[in-house]
Amino acid sequence: MRLSIDRIEMPGFGLIPLSRRPTPGDGTDGFAFGVTAEGEWGGDQLPAGAESDRGSWWIARDDSRLLPVRSVSLVFRVVDVAGPLRMFRHGYQSWSPSDVAVFGRDRDRSLAPGSIEMIRAINQADQRIVEVDDELRSEWLTVLVDDSDTPILVGFANGKNHDGTMRLRTGPTGTELWCEAFLGDVIFAEGERRELHDVLIVSGGSVDALLSTWASTVGSLGGARVGAGHQVGWCSWYHYFHDVNEQDINSNLQHADEWPFDVFQVDDGFQSAIGDWLTTNAKFPSGLESMAAKISGRGRRPGLWLAPFLVAPDSVVAAEHPEWLARGFDGEPLLNMFNAPWGGGMGGLMFGLDTTVPEVREHLRQLASTVVAMGYTYLKLDFTFSPSFDGEWSDRSFTPAQRVRAGFGALRAGAGSDTFLLGCGVPLSHSVGVVDANRIGADVAPSWSLRSDVPMLSGYAETQPATRHAWSAAATRSFMHRRLWLNDPDCLMLRSEQTDLTPQAARTWAQAVGVSGGMVLVSDDLSLLGSSARSVLEEAIFLSRIADEAAIRGEVAVSSDLLEGPEPTRLASPVGELRVDLSDGTSDFTPIR
């Protein structure tokens, strides 16, 4: 199997043969394009015998018409395919699943009957349903493999200026791979030229070697923040959820003296309203500053959860600054999240801030600066996909990626370089160089698989909380750790009460976190945990510290069967190999050290 570049495609513009490369001023329907072969990439990091190519390209506006540009694609023919063609589909944001699909058999998730547009917008760069029935879609990167067992990795070199979507589909030349720069109906200034993110291709060598080379290259190009220390901590979410109160925090803080936590994070439930982050509700009468002082007084680093780009309809910020809200195509505030427990005046529907507005970015900068000054030097930034939705944004020169990045840039500017920023619900390609860590999977839950009494999101059930879903992400995204950021696989499940996880499945997940080398977080009521829970945590910390040290040296955890089925069942690092039975969470761990 091999790829052969064929043409450029742009909706509303049509097919542009590479043999005819328009230039500004030639009057070709208002836009011009260019593609340049840059030769090899990866340098000494390339696997032995591997071959690589790098393509640079650009798009420029050539006349006075204000035409929105949704996307432009480099199209490759996929030729000499031997047997079934399989595609590694990488997910868009933290919770979006990554898996392996078979071309011609499997279907894009957006085609599932009853798929919800808001859920598509949360989990895809382009929230529209695919136009080609056999299309498979991957975000930021993909790996293609056939029966020749010579994988080809195709990925974008960055994601800060636009999304990159890989679309495998049947086209006029047969099987095609569209490398799409998704620009989200951006408006170009007259005469403006935009350099698009380079497309990187490498073939030959093992899958883990290809992924390693790509991640190292992208991290280097993007200035990845990978220098923070190994993280061990506690957060309030998975035991108390929205019902957490100040007494719960104080109680666990006292018990934390007996536990090896560096970070102590207050999660969702303290705020007076989504968007009004500096005022607490009646459950937290002492306020944020007092809480931070108590945490630091116990020798822990205070952490705080924020969903900085969302505002409740009945929040003070929405009432006082309606001009800060992103708008839908109907002119009403854009709805881009639903969470019933938040309330907010519209039954849990949330508005999004317009990060293209300078005053919004200043608000975000001041928010981060204020909470850091209060003592919170560890911030979990959640639901940060919000600025990526289709809508009427104030400044239409921003792509969706730039809207997300602008929000993160403002938060980093306010927080300062020493504050630890953890992204969550974040379009992953947009965050390299601004966060220190990212959640890389769906939420865990006190059950292995998605419970039968939980309504499934059509086409997107793998995004819903379940420990099996978190396992799959930990294995498929292990190669990103210490190359793009620190991986946060999500919390251990240590409880023996109020849980459907078997002790074996709970230990399987703890060992998976340890083998991955990622962050080790606990989210149980510490007063209910005994010696067996402490033993599971200590094993996870021991394994994770060694695996993390190896990752710093360049030896990250890998899944040896990543492309052998829809979901991986193995994860190995210098501490050992874990083999997981996907049906029930039982496992076999073979230690090396």
H or E element in which residue 233 lies: strand 232-235
Look up residue 421 and give its two tokens: 């920023």
Task: Name the amino acid, one letter, at 258.
Answer: E
289 and 144 in one domain?
no
Which residues, including other chains, have CB under 8 Å from residue 5's CB and lie 6 or more apart?
A: 18, 35, 55, 74, 75, 76, 77
Which residues lie below 8 Å from residue 121, measured CB to CB, with a gap of 6+? Answer: 127, 336, 385, 388, 389, 390
φ and ψ at 60, to 5 degrees?
-135, 145
Q: How far is it, in rounded angstroms, from Cα 362 to Cα 364? A: 5
**508 — phi, psi (to 5°)?**
-55, -45
* Domain-located, residue 369: yes
Q: Going by C-beta distance under 8 Å and a sequence separation of 6 or more, which residues neighbour residue 331?
A: 392
| Per-residue confidence (pLDDT) for residue 17, from 0 to 100 | 67
Q: How far apart are CA 31 and CA 14, in angstroms?
A: 11
Looking at the fold, whether 182 and 137 belong to one and the same domain comes out as yes
Q: What is the mean pLDDT of each run of 10 residues along the chain (593 residues)?
A: 93 65 52 81 79 92 84 96 97 98 98 97 98 97 95 97 98 97 96 95 93 97 98 98 98 97 98 98 98 98 98 98 98 98 98 98 98 98 98 98 98 98 98 98 97 94 98 98 98 95 98 98 97 97 98 97 96 98 98 82
Strand 232-235 with 276-280, pairing: unpaired
Per-residue model confidence as pLDDT tens digits over 501-530 = 999 999 999 999 999 999 999 999 999 999
Tell me: do 586 and 561 sit in the same domain: yes
Taking the CB of residue 335, how many other CB atoms lie within 10 A of it? 17
Could you count the other beta carbons within 10 Å of the beta carbon of residue 497?
Answer: 9
CATH for 564: 3.20.20.70
Which pLDDT belongs to residue 18? 66
Contact 519, 440 (CB under 8 A): no
Residue 158 and residue 239 in one domain: no
Same domain as 208, residue 94: yes
Q: Which amino acid is at 333?
A: P
pLDDT value for 22: 52
Q: Encode burial over 344-379: b for 16+ CB neighbours within 10 A, e otherwise.
A: beeeebbbbbbbbbeebbebbbebbbebbebbbbbb
> In this structure, are residues 464 and 457 in contact, taking their beta carbons and an 8 Å threshold?
yes
Residue 48: what pLDDT? 77
Strand duo 136-139 + 141-145: pairing: unpaired
Q: pTM of the prediction?
A: 0.97
Q: Which two tokens stand for residue 124?
A: 């895809």
Q: Which of 202, 221, 240 is the last residue of a domain?
A: 221
In terms of domains, do 435 and 482 share one?
Answer: yes
312, part of any domain: no
pLDDT at 402: 98
Tell me whether residue 216 is in a domain: yes
**CA pair distance 278, 276, nearest whole angstrom:** 6
pLDDT at position 23: 52
Q: Identify the bridge partners of residue 280 per DSSP, sorted by sequence position.
A: 271
Q: In which element (H, E) is residue 218 found?
A: helix 207-221
Do residues 232 and 72 make contact, with C-beta atoms less than 8 angstroms apart?
no
Burial of 323 (0-12, 13-18, 19+ CB in 10 A): exposed
Task: Tell me the β-bridge partners of 16.
Answer: 8
Evaluate whether residue 239 is within a structural domain.
yes
Q: Which residues pair with 379 in a beta bridge?
A: 304, 421
Same domain, 18 and 64: yes
Domain for residue 107, yes or no?
A: yes
- Based on the domain organization, do 165 and 290 belong to the same domain? no
Residue 57 belongs to what domain range?
A: 2-221
What is the number of domains present in the chain? 2
DSSP-based three-state secondary structure for 326: coil
| Cβ neighbours around 129 below 10 Å, total | 16
- C-alpha distances in Å from residue 343, one per residue of 244, 276, 312, 389: 16, 14, 8, 21
pLDDT in tens, 555-577: 999 999 999 999 999 999 999 99
Catalytic residue among 268, 276, 436, 443: 443
Strands 152-156 and 68-79: unpaired
Domain identity same for 296 and 439: yes
Contact 510, 539 (CB under 8 A): yes
Does residue 285 sit in the same domain as residue 418? yes
Do 241 and 200 share a structural domain? no
Q: Is 163 a catalytic residue?
A: no
Q: Is 443 a catalytic residue?
A: yes
The DSSP H or E segment spanning 37 is strand 31-39
Place of tokens 């349903």: 129
The answer to whether 95 and 382 are in contact (CB under 8 A) is: no
Q: What angle do CA 518, 519, 523 make, to 5 degrees?
A: 135
| Dist. CA 463–CA 388, nearest whole Å | 18
Whether residue 272 is contained in a domain is answered as yes
Residue where one domain finishes, among candidates 174, 194, 221: 221
Query: Among 155, 156, 154, 152, which Cα is nearest to 205's?
Result: 152
Model pLDDT, residue 79: 97
pLDDT tens column, 9-64: 998 766 666 654 555 444 445 788 888 877 778 777 788 778 899 999 999 987 77
Whether residues 116 and 26 fall in one domain: yes
* Cα–Cα–Cα angle for 493, 495, 499, rounded to 5 degrees: 85
* Residue 28 belongs to some domain of the structure: yes
Instruction: Give yes or no for a contact between 166 and 137, defined as CB atoms under 8 angstroms apart.
Output: yes
| Domain assignment of residue 390, yes or no | no
SS3 state at 67: coil
Point out the domain boundary residue: 181, 198, 221. Answer: 221
Residue from 6, 108, 382, 548 carrying the catalytic annotation: 382
Among the listed residues 315, 319, 311, 459, the one whose alpha carbon sits nearest the alpha carbon of residue 387: 311
Residue for token digits 């007092």? 290
- Contacts for 452 with CB less than 8 Å, ≥ 6 apart: none
pLDDT of residue 27: 44
Sequential DSSP letters for 484-527: TBEEE---B---SSS----HHHHHHHHHHHHHHT--EEE-S-GG
